[in-house]
Chain A
Protein backbone atom coordinates (compact mmCIF):
# COMPACT_ATOMS: atom_id res chain seq x y z
CA UNK A 1 0.00 0.00 0.00
CA UNK A 2 1.10 3.58 -0.69
CA UNK A 3 2.59 5.75 2.02
CA UNK A 4 0.51 8.77 1.15
CA UNK A 5 -3.19 9.26 0.47
CA UNK A 6 -4.06 9.05 -3.24
CA UNK A 7 -7.14 10.33 -5.01
CA UNK A 8 -7.90 6.69 -5.76
CA UNK A 9 -8.32 6.08 -2.00
CA UNK A 10 -11.49 8.16 -2.24
CA UNK A 11 -12.78 6.43 -5.37
CA UNK A 12 -15.00 4.00 -3.50
CA UNK A 13 -13.25 0.94 -4.89
CA UNK A 14 -10.67 -1.55 -3.74
CA UNK A 15 -8.28 1.12 -2.50
CA UNK A 16 -10.93 2.84 -0.36
CA UNK A 17 -11.61 -0.52 1.26
CA UNK A 18 -7.89 -1.06 1.91
CA UNK A 19 -7.62 2.35 3.57
CA UNK A 20 -10.60 1.62 5.82
CA UNK A 21 -9.27 -1.80 6.76
CA UNK A 22 -5.72 -0.72 7.41
CA UNK A 23 -6.24 2.59 9.18
CA UNK A 24 -9.75 2.92 10.54
CA UNK A 25 -10.84 -0.63 11.28
CA UNK A 26 -7.51 -1.24 13.00
CA UNK A 27 -8.08 1.59 15.47
CA UNK A 28 -11.86 1.84 15.82
CA UNK A 29 -12.82 -1.81 16.20
CA UNK A 30 -15.82 -2.40 18.50
CA UNK A 31 -18.90 -4.63 18.32
CA UNK A 32 -20.97 -2.04 16.45
CA UNK A 33 -18.27 -0.83 14.09
CA UNK A 34 -19.26 -1.23 10.48
CA UNK A 35 -17.68 -0.62 7.12
CA UNK A 36 -21.23 -0.69 5.69
CA UNK A 37 -23.20 2.44 4.92
CA UNK A 38 -24.81 2.56 8.36
CA UNK A 39 -24.37 0.92 11.75
CA UNK A 40 -27.24 -1.03 13.30
CA UNK A 41 -27.73 -0.11 16.97
CA UNK A 42 -30.16 -1.81 19.36
CA UNK A 43 -32.29 0.63 21.36
CA UNK A 44 -34.85 -1.10 23.56
CA UNK A 45 -37.11 -3.09 21.26
CA UNK A 46 -36.17 -0.94 18.28
CA UNK A 47 -33.19 -1.12 16.01
CA UNK A 48 -31.72 2.18 14.91
CA UNK A 49 -29.58 2.80 11.86
CA UNK A 50 -26.89 5.48 12.25
CA UNK A 51 -24.89 6.88 9.38
CA UNK A 52 -22.60 9.75 8.48
CA UNK A 53 -21.25 11.04 5.18
CA UNK A 54 -18.97 13.87 4.10
CA UNK A 55 -19.51 15.80 0.88
CA UNK A 56 -16.99 17.57 -1.25
CA UNK A 57 -18.07 18.21 -4.78
CA UNK A 58 -16.52 20.42 -7.35
CA UNK A 59 -18.36 22.39 -8.58
CA UNK A 60 -20.88 22.72 -5.69
CA UNK A 61 -23.72 23.54 -8.12
CA UNK A 62 -24.49 21.21 -11.02
CA UNK A 63 -27.45 20.46 -13.29
CA UNK A 64 -30.04 18.60 -11.22
CA UNK A 65 -28.81 19.62 -7.81
CA UNK A 66 -26.14 21.04 -5.57
CA UNK A 67 -23.95 19.91 -2.70
CA UNK A 68 -26.77 20.64 -0.24
CA UNK A 69 -29.28 18.36 -1.92
CA UNK A 70 -26.53 15.76 -2.30
CA UNK A 71 -25.68 15.88 1.40
CA UNK A 72 -29.27 15.09 2.39
CA UNK A 73 -29.73 12.37 -0.24
CA UNK A 74 -26.45 10.68 0.66
CA UNK A 75 -27.27 10.12 4.32
CA UNK A 76 -30.98 9.46 3.76
CA UNK A 77 -30.09 6.83 1.17
CA UNK A 78 -27.49 5.16 3.38
CA UNK A 79 -30.15 4.80 6.09
CA UNK A 80 -32.81 3.70 3.62
CA UNK A 81 -30.58 0.91 2.32
CA UNK A 82 -30.60 -0.61 5.82
CA UNK A 83 -34.40 -0.68 5.64
CA UNK A 84 -34.51 2.30 8.01
CA UNK A 85 -36.99 5.13 7.84
CA UNK A 86 -34.85 8.26 8.11
CA UNK A 87 -35.94 10.40 11.08
CA UNK A 88 -33.34 12.99 12.08
CA UNK A 89 -30.31 14.54 10.46
CA UNK A 90 -27.52 16.80 11.62
CA UNK A 91 -25.32 18.83 9.31
CA UNK A 92 -21.88 20.41 9.72
CA UNK A 93 -20.55 23.00 7.33
CA UNK A 94 -16.96 23.96 6.64
CA UNK A 95 -17.07 27.19 4.66
CA UNK A 96 -14.30 28.93 2.82
CA UNK A 97 -13.75 32.56 3.69
CA UNK A 98 -15.27 34.63 0.89
CA UNK A 99 -17.98 32.13 -0.10
CA UNK A 100 -21.12 34.00 -1.28
CA UNK A 101 -23.94 34.03 1.27
CA UNK A 102 -26.40 33.90 -1.59
CA UNK A 103 -24.91 30.56 -2.65
CA UNK A 104 -25.04 29.28 0.91
CA UNK A 105 -28.71 30.16 1.01
CA UNK A 106 -29.39 28.26 -2.20
CA UNK A 107 -27.66 25.27 -0.64
CA UNK A 108 -29.68 25.55 2.58
CA UNK A 109 -32.91 25.88 0.60
CA UNK A 110 -32.13 22.73 -1.40
CA UNK A 111 -31.37 20.90 1.84
CA UNK A 112 -34.70 21.92 3.34
CA UNK A 113 -36.65 20.89 0.25
CA UNK A 114 -34.91 17.53 -0.02
CA UNK A 115 -35.32 16.82 3.70
CA UNK A 116 -39.03 17.53 3.37
CA UNK A 117 -39.36 15.20 0.40
CA UNK A 118 -37.51 12.48 2.30
CA UNK A 119 -39.62 13.02 5.44
CA UNK A 120 -36.63 13.76 7.64
CA UNK A 121 -35.95 16.67 10.01
CA UNK A 122 -32.69 18.63 10.21
CA UNK A 123 -32.27 18.96 13.95
CA UNK A 124 -28.71 20.06 14.69
CA UNK A 125 -25.80 21.65 12.96
CA UNK A 126 -22.40 23.21 13.17
CA UNK A 127 -20.54 25.85 11.18
CA UNK A 128 -16.82 26.43 10.79
CA UNK A 129 -15.12 28.94 8.53
CA UNK A 130 -11.69 28.16 7.12
CA UNK A 131 -9.41 30.81 5.70
CA UNK A 132 -9.24 31.26 1.95
CA UNK A 133 -7.67 28.28 0.18
CA UNK A 134 -7.93 25.88 3.13
CA UNK A 135 -11.10 24.30 1.75
CA UNK A 136 -12.74 24.44 -1.66
CA UNK A 137 -15.82 26.70 -1.19
CA UNK A 138 -17.98 24.46 0.99
CA UNK A 139 -17.75 21.01 2.56
CA UNK A 140 -20.78 19.46 4.26
CA UNK A 141 -21.03 16.48 6.59
CA UNK A 142 -24.42 15.05 7.47
CA UNK A 143 -25.24 12.36 10.02
CA UNK A 144 -28.58 10.66 10.35
CA UNK A 145 -30.64 8.37 12.53
CA UNK A 146 -33.37 6.14 11.21
CA UNK A 147 -35.65 3.42 12.57
CA UNK A 148 -35.22 0.05 10.90
CA UNK A 149 -38.59 -1.40 9.92
CA UNK A 150 -39.54 -4.36 12.11
CA UNK A 151 -38.56 -7.71 10.65
CA UNK A 152 -36.37 -6.22 7.94
CA UNK A 153 -32.78 -7.39 7.67
CA UNK A 154 -31.25 -6.58 4.33
CA UNK A 155 -27.51 -6.95 3.93
CA UNK A 156 -24.88 -6.98 1.24
CA UNK A 157 -24.07 -10.51 2.38
CA UNK A 158 -27.54 -11.94 1.69
CA UNK A 159 -27.65 -12.26 -2.09
CA UNK A 160 -28.83 -15.79 -3.00
CA UNK A 161 -28.71 -17.98 -6.08
CA UNK A 162 -31.47 -16.99 -8.49
CA UNK A 163 -32.10 -13.52 -7.03
CA UNK A 164 -33.16 -10.99 -9.64
CA UNK A 165 -30.98 -7.88 -9.78
CA UNK A 166 -32.89 -4.62 -10.16
CA UNK A 167 -31.70 -1.06 -10.71
CA UNK A 168 -34.15 1.78 -10.14
CA UNK A 169 -33.31 3.84 -13.23
CA UNK A 170 -30.75 4.76 -15.87
CA UNK A 171 -27.22 4.74 -14.54
CA UNK A 172 -24.27 7.13 -14.40
CA UNK A 173 -26.14 10.41 -14.70
CA UNK A 174 -24.64 12.04 -11.61
CA UNK A 175 -21.10 11.25 -12.71
CA UNK A 176 -21.82 12.53 -16.20
CA UNK A 177 -23.48 15.72 -14.91
CA UNK A 178 -20.48 16.51 -12.69
CA UNK A 179 -18.07 15.81 -15.54
CA UNK A 180 -19.98 18.30 -17.70
CA UNK A 181 -20.25 20.89 -14.93
CA UNK A 182 -16.47 20.84 -14.51
CA UNK A 183 -16.17 21.93 -18.13
CA UNK A 184 -12.82 20.15 -18.44
CA UNK A 185 -13.53 18.35 -21.65
CA UNK A 186 -15.60 20.93 -23.52
CA UNK A 187 -18.60 18.61 -23.86
CA UNK A 188 -22.15 19.91 -23.75
CA UNK A 189 -25.23 17.83 -23.06
CA UNK A 190 -28.58 18.13 -21.32
CA UNK A 191 -27.77 15.67 -18.55
CA UNK A 192 -29.06 16.30 -15.04
CA UNK A 193 -27.82 14.49 -11.95
CA UNK A 194 -29.98 11.60 -10.73
CA UNK A 195 -29.46 12.88 -7.17
CA UNK A 196 -32.61 11.97 -5.18
CA UNK A 197 -33.73 10.76 -1.74
CA UNK A 198 -34.72 7.11 -2.09
CA UNK A 199 -36.53 6.18 1.12
CA UNK A 200 -39.92 6.08 -0.60
CA UNK A 201 -38.60 3.57 -3.14
CA UNK A 202 -37.19 1.38 -0.38
CA UNK A 203 -40.41 1.60 1.62
CA UNK A 204 -42.55 0.66 -1.38
CA UNK A 205 -40.40 -2.30 -2.37
CA UNK A 206 -40.21 -3.63 1.20
CA UNK A 207 -43.99 -3.32 1.47
CA UNK A 208 -44.28 -5.42 -1.69
CA UNK A 209 -41.76 -7.98 -0.48
CA UNK A 210 -40.31 -7.79 3.07
CA UNK A 211 -37.85 -10.53 2.11
CA UNK A 212 -35.68 -8.38 -0.18
CA UNK A 213 -32.14 -9.66 0.31
CA UNK A 214 -29.93 -6.72 -0.64
CA UNK A 215 -30.57 -2.99 -1.02
CA UNK A 216 -27.64 -0.75 -1.87
CA UNK A 217 -27.34 2.69 -3.35
CA UNK A 218 -24.84 3.07 -6.15
CA UNK A 219 -22.69 6.10 -5.37
CA UNK A 220 -19.07 7.00 -6.19
CA UNK A 221 -17.96 3.86 -7.96
CA UNK A 222 -21.22 3.38 -9.86
CA UNK A 223 -23.32 0.25 -10.30
CA UNK A 224 -20.31 -1.85 -11.37
CA UNK A 225 -18.57 -1.25 -8.05
CA UNK A 226 -21.70 -2.10 -6.04
CA UNK A 227 -22.16 -5.37 -7.95
CA UNK A 228 -18.60 -6.42 -7.14
CA UNK A 229 -19.04 -5.47 -3.47
CA UNK A 230 -22.20 -7.55 -3.18
CA UNK A 231 -20.69 -10.50 -5.08
CA UNK A 232 -17.77 -10.40 -2.63
CA UNK A 233 -19.78 -9.98 0.57
CA UNK A 234 -22.31 -12.65 -0.37
CA UNK A 235 -19.72 -14.95 -1.99
CA UNK A 236 -21.90 -15.45 -5.04
CA UNK A 237 -21.48 -14.95 -8.76
CA UNK A 238 -23.51 -12.31 -10.56
CA UNK A 239 -24.55 -12.28 -14.19
CA UNK A 240 -25.88 -9.17 -15.94
CA UNK A 241 -26.96 -8.58 -19.52
CA UNK A 242 -25.27 -5.64 -21.24
CA UNK A 243 -28.30 -4.75 -23.33
CA UNK A 244 -30.62 -4.58 -20.31
CA UNK A 245 -28.58 -1.94 -18.47
CA UNK A 246 -30.47 1.34 -18.72
CA UNK A 247 -28.27 4.23 -19.89
CA UNK A 248 -29.44 7.63 -21.08
CA UNK A 249 -28.35 8.13 -24.73
CA UNK A 250 -26.50 11.36 -23.88
CA UNK A 251 -24.64 9.68 -21.04
CA UNK A 252 -23.71 6.95 -23.53
CA UNK A 253 -22.52 9.67 -25.95
CA UNK A 254 -20.31 11.26 -23.30
CA UNK A 255 -18.88 7.86 -22.37
CA UNK A 256 -18.12 7.10 -26.01
CA UNK A 257 -16.27 10.40 -26.35
CA UNK A 258 -14.08 9.75 -23.33
CA UNK A 259 -13.75 5.98 -23.49
CA UNK A 260 -15.57 5.53 -20.16
CA UNK A 261 -18.03 2.84 -19.06
CA UNK A 262 -21.31 4.10 -17.54
CA UNK A 263 -21.19 1.17 -15.10
CA UNK A 264 -18.44 3.06 -13.22
CA UNK A 265 -19.92 6.55 -13.35
CA UNK A 266 -21.33 7.79 -10.05
CA UNK A 267 -25.03 7.70 -9.29
CA UNK A 268 -26.65 9.54 -6.37
CA UNK A 269 -30.23 8.41 -6.78
CA UNK A 270 -30.13 4.79 -7.88
CA UNK A 271 -30.66 1.62 -5.89
CA UNK A 272 -29.39 -1.84 -6.69
CA UNK A 273 -31.70 -4.51 -5.24
CA UNK A 274 -31.30 -8.28 -5.08
CA UNK A 275 -34.75 -9.80 -4.69
CA UNK A 276 -36.29 -13.29 -4.79
CA UNK A 277 -36.98 -13.98 -8.46
CA UNK A 278 -40.68 -14.74 -7.94
CA UNK A 279 -41.30 -11.27 -6.49
CA UNK A 280 -39.21 -9.36 -9.02
CA UNK A 281 -42.07 -8.30 -11.29
CA UNK A 282 -44.22 -7.02 -8.40
CA UNK A 283 -41.33 -5.08 -6.91
CA UNK A 284 -40.50 -3.58 -10.30
CA UNK A 285 -44.11 -2.43 -10.63
CA UNK A 286 -44.09 -0.79 -7.21
CA UNK A 287 -40.80 0.97 -8.03
CA UNK A 288 -41.96 2.13 -11.46
CA UNK A 289 -45.05 3.73 -9.89
CA UNK A 290 -42.88 6.23 -7.98
CA UNK A 291 -41.20 9.35 -9.39
CA UNK A 292 -37.58 8.24 -8.82
CA UNK A 293 -38.20 4.67 -9.94
CA UNK A 294 -39.93 5.01 -13.30
CA UNK A 295 -36.95 3.62 -15.16
CA UNK A 296 -36.50 0.57 -12.91
CA UNK A 297 -35.31 -2.56 -14.70
CA UNK A 298 -34.08 -6.06 -14.09
CA UNK A 299 -30.49 -6.27 -15.33
CA UNK A 300 -29.50 -9.81 -14.35
CA UNK A 301 -29.46 -12.63 -11.81
CA UNK A 302 -27.36 -14.10 -9.05
CA UNK A 303 -25.91 -17.36 -10.36
CA UNK A 304 -24.45 -20.02 -8.06
CA UNK A 305 -22.65 -21.72 -10.96
CA UNK A 306 -20.31 -18.77 -11.38
CA UNK A 307 -17.16 -18.27 -9.38
CA UNK A 308 -18.02 -16.61 -6.03
CA UNK A 309 -17.17 -12.92 -6.08
CA UNK A 310 -17.28 -12.62 -9.86
CA UNK A 311 -19.49 -10.42 -12.04
CA UNK A 312 -20.12 -11.70 -15.56
CA UNK A 313 -21.62 -9.74 -18.43
CA UNK A 314 -23.48 -11.22 -21.36
CA UNK A 315 -22.26 -9.01 -24.20
CA UNK A 316 -23.98 -7.76 -27.35
CA UNK A 317 -22.73 -10.77 -29.31
CA UNK A 318 -23.98 -13.23 -26.72
CA UNK A 319 -20.56 -14.02 -25.23
CA UNK A 320 -19.98 -14.01 -21.49
CA UNK A 321 -17.03 -12.06 -20.11
CA UNK A 322 -15.98 -10.88 -16.69
CA UNK A 323 -16.90 -7.29 -15.92
CA UNK A 324 -13.62 -5.41 -15.37
CA UNK A 325 -13.08 -4.59 -11.73
CA UNK A 326 -13.22 -0.93 -10.81
CA UNK A 327 -9.73 0.52 -10.31
CA UNK A 328 -9.85 3.83 -8.49
CA UNK A 329 -9.66 7.13 -10.28
CA UNK A 330 -11.71 7.19 -13.50
CA UNK A 331 -9.46 8.23 -16.38
CA UNK A 332 -10.60 9.05 -19.89
CA UNK A 333 -9.11 6.86 -22.61
CA UNK A 334 -8.42 8.80 -25.77
CA UNK A 335 -5.21 8.15 -27.62
Chain B
Protein backbone atom coordinates (compact mmCIF):
# COMPACT_ATOMS: atom_id res chain seq x y z
CA UNK B 1 0.00 0.00 0.00
CA UNK B 2 0.95 3.57 -0.13
CA UNK B 3 3.53 4.08 -2.84
CA UNK B 4 5.59 7.02 -1.68
CA UNK B 5 7.67 9.39 -3.75
CA UNK B 6 10.46 11.42 -2.22
CA UNK B 7 10.74 14.75 -3.97
CA UNK B 8 12.15 18.24 -3.59
CA UNK B 9 9.88 21.23 -3.06
CA UNK B 10 10.37 23.81 -5.79
CA UNK B 11 7.61 26.30 -4.97
CA UNK B 12 4.95 26.65 -2.30
CA UNK B 13 1.76 28.51 -2.99
CA UNK B 14 -1.40 28.57 -0.84
CA UNK B 15 -1.90 24.95 -0.01
CA UNK B 16 -0.12 23.52 -3.02
CA UNK B 17 3.53 22.76 -3.67
CA UNK B 18 5.35 22.13 -6.91
CA UNK B 19 7.57 19.11 -6.32
CA UNK B 20 10.44 17.74 -8.37
CA UNK B 21 11.50 14.08 -8.55
CA UNK B 22 14.59 13.82 -10.76
CA UNK B 23 13.16 16.49 -13.05
CA UNK B 24 9.61 15.12 -13.22
CA UNK B 25 7.36 17.73 -11.65
CA UNK B 26 3.85 17.86 -10.28
CA UNK B 27 1.61 20.09 -8.21
CA UNK B 28 0.68 18.39 -4.96
CA UNK B 29 -1.31 19.44 -1.93
CA UNK B 30 0.82 20.83 0.89
CA UNK B 31 -2.10 21.34 3.25
CA UNK B 32 -0.99 18.64 5.64
CA UNK B 33 2.42 20.20 6.26
CA UNK B 34 2.98 23.59 7.79
CA UNK B 35 6.01 25.79 7.10
CA UNK B 36 7.14 24.04 3.92
CA UNK B 37 9.83 25.91 2.05
CA UNK B 38 11.43 25.56 -1.36
CA UNK B 39 14.39 23.21 -1.02
CA UNK B 40 12.68 20.97 1.56
CA UNK B 41 12.29 17.29 0.74
CA UNK B 42 8.89 15.68 1.19
CA UNK B 43 7.27 12.25 0.94
CA UNK B 44 4.35 12.39 -1.48
CA UNK B 45 1.51 9.89 -1.65
CA UNK B 46 -1.35 10.10 -4.18
CA UNK B 47 -0.81 13.79 -4.81
CA UNK B 48 -0.53 14.80 -1.15
CA UNK B 49 2.70 15.71 0.67
CA UNK B 50 2.42 13.64 3.87
CA UNK B 51 5.74 14.19 5.64
CA UNK B 52 8.92 16.20 5.54
CA UNK B 53 12.06 14.16 5.00
CA UNK B 54 15.00 14.96 7.22
CA UNK B 55 17.89 13.02 5.66
CA UNK B 56 18.83 10.48 2.99
CA UNK B 57 17.85 6.85 3.45
CA UNK B 58 21.46 5.75 3.80
CA UNK B 59 22.30 8.39 6.44
CA UNK B 60 19.17 7.37 8.29
CA UNK B 61 19.93 3.67 8.07
CA UNK B 62 23.46 4.13 9.41
CA UNK B 63 22.04 6.07 12.37
CA UNK B 64 19.42 3.39 13.01
CA UNK B 65 22.03 0.63 12.82
CA UNK B 66 24.39 2.53 15.10
CA UNK B 67 21.44 3.01 17.46
CA UNK B 68 20.74 -0.68 17.91
CA UNK B 69 24.37 -1.78 17.93
CA UNK B 70 25.60 0.90 20.36
CA UNK B 71 22.45 2.00 22.19
CA UNK B 72 24.36 4.27 24.59
CA UNK B 73 25.65 6.56 21.85
CA UNK B 74 22.35 8.00 20.71
CA UNK B 75 18.79 8.83 21.54
CA UNK B 76 16.88 7.02 18.84
CA UNK B 77 14.06 4.94 20.19
For the complex of A and B, list the 3 residue pairs with the smallest distance between their C-beta atoms, beginning with the closest: A253-B24, A253-B22, A253-B21
Would you call A190 and B3 a contact (CB within 8 A)?
no
Would you call B46 and A334 a contact (CB within 8 A)?
yes
Would you call A256 and B46 a contact (CB within 8 A)?
no
- Seen from chain A, the residues whose Cβ lies within 8 Å of a Cβ on chain B are 185-191, 249-250, 252-254, 256-257, 259, 333-335
Q: Which of A186, A250, A335 is B22 in contact with, Cβ under 8 Å?
A: A250
Q: Which of B1, B26, B44 is A335 in contact with, Cβ under 8 Å?
A: B1
Would you call B5 and A256 a contact (CB within 8 A)?
yes
The answer, yes or no, to whether B65 is at the interface (CB within 8 Å) is no
Would you call B23 and A253 a contact (CB within 8 A)?
yes
Known: A256-B5, A257-B5, A335-B1. A189 touches B24 (CB 8 A): yes
Would you call A188 and B26 a contact (CB within 8 A)?
yes
Residues 10-48 of B, flagged 1 when their CB comes within 8 A of A and 0 if not, give 000000000011111111000000000000000011110
Query: How far is B27's CA from A259's CA once the two chains are assembled, in angstroms?
Result: 18
Query: How far is B2's CA from A335's CA once the two chains are assembled, in angstroms?
Result: 5
Q: Which of A250, A259, A334, A335 is B24 in contact with, Cβ under 8 Å?
A: A250
- Seen from chain B, the residues whose Cβ lies within 8 Å of a Cβ on chain A are 1-3, 5, 20-27, 44-47
Would you call A250 and B23 a contact (CB within 8 A)?
yes
- Expressed in whole angstroms, the minimum distance between the Cβ of B5 and any Cβ of chain A is 5
Known pairs A185-B26, A253-B20, A253-B22 / 18 extra A-B pairs, C-beta < 8 Å: A186-B26, A186-B27, A188-B26, A189-B25, A190-B23, A249-B23, A250-B22, A250-B23, A253-B21, A253-B23, A253-B24, A256-B5, A256-B22, A257-B24, A334-B3, A335-B1, A335-B2, A335-B46
Q: Nearest chain-B residue to A256 (Cβ)?
A: B5
Q: Report chain A residues within 8 Å CB of B1.
A: 335
Q: Report chain B residues within 8 Å CB of A254.
A: 24
Query: How far is B24's CA from A256's CA once the two chains are assembled, in angstroms?
Result: 10
Q: Report chain B residues within 8 Å CB of A249.
A: 22-23
From B2, B21, B27, residue with most partner A Cβ within 10 Å: B21
Would you call B25 and A256 a contact (CB within 8 A)?
no
Known: A333-B3, A334-B3, A335-B1. A256 touches B27 (CB 8 A): no
Q: List 20 A-B contacts (CB under 8 A).
A: A186-B26, A186-B27, A187-B24, A187-B25, A188-B24, A188-B26, A189-B23, A189-B24, A249-B22, A249-B23, A250-B23, A253-B22, A254-B24, A256-B5, A256-B24, A257-B26, A334-B3, A334-B45, A335-B2, A335-B46
